[in-house]
Amino acid sequence: MILYSDRDDHYSQRVRIVLAEKDISAEIIESKAEDTPDDIISISPYQKLPILVDRDLAIHDPSVMMEYLDERFPHPPLLPVYPVARANSRTLMLRIDREWCPMVDELIEKNKSKKELMKIREELLHEISSIAPTFKEYKYFMCDEFTLVDCCFAPILWRLPSIGIKLPINRHLKPLIDYQNSVFERPGFLDSLSSLERDLKSEE
C-alpha cells in the first residue's frame, strides 16, 4: 500500500491520521502534484493528491480512502457501528468538505484581496466557534469516540494559526480548545504530521 501525499495538505493529512490511528503499514511518499509520476497523478481526474494505491486498487478521493481503510482494517473502528450514528458522521464530514474546506483552501492559496481574505477568516472563525458548545456534551466531534470526522477537522484546527486565525481564549470556546489540545496530543495525530506541518505550529 502506497499513499502519495502532499506534505502540506489537510486532505492528505486526514488520510495519514487514519493510517496512524490504525497502525497500518503503508509507504508514504511525500510529493507535490507536479512532481508525481504521470502514471500516478493521472489516476486523479483533478490532478491532485492524495492518491492511495493498494495493489490493483487506486483511489483519488480522500473521503473514499478513509472509509476504505476503516473497512479494510476494522480495528479500531473510526465510524460508529449503528447506521443512524454512521449517517450523522458522514453528514458532518460532508459539511466540513462543502462549507469549511473551501474557505480553508482560499486562505491557504491567498488568491483574493486582503479584504476578501479577512471576511473569509471571520466567517470560518464564526462557523468553527458555533460548534464549541457541543464539546461540553461529547469528548470528540459529536461523538464520544474518535472518528473520521475528527480526522477531517483536526488538520483544519492545526492550520488555523498559519492562515491568520487565532481562537480566542474565553468561556464559550474553552470546550473547543480543550478538544483541540486533546486531539493534538494523540499519538496518531502526532505521527501523521510531516516535518513541514510540524513547523506550522510555530506560526501560532
User: Domain spanning 83-203: which CATH class is it, in words?
Assistant: mainly alpha
Q: pLDDT tens digits for 41-93?
A: 999 988 899 999 999 999 999 999 999 999 999 999 999 989 999 999 999 99
> What average pLDDT does the chain have?
94
Q: What is the CATH number of domain 2-72?
A: 3.40.30.10
Give me the mean pLDDT over the 17-21 stretch: 98
Position 46 scores a pLDDT of 87
Q: Which residues pair with 197 in a beta bridge?
A: none
User: With pLDDT > 70 as the criterion, what percentage of the chain qualifies?
Assistant: 98
Position 201 scores a pLDDT of 67
Q: pLDDT tens digits for 86-131?
A: 999 999 999 999 999 999 999 999 999 999 999 999 999 999 999 9
Where, residue-wise, is CATH 3.40.30.10 in the chain? 2-72
80 and 150 Cβ atoms separated by less than 8 Å = no
CA distance 132 to 141: 10
User: With pLDDT > 90 as the criterion, what percentage of the chain qualifies?
Assistant: 85
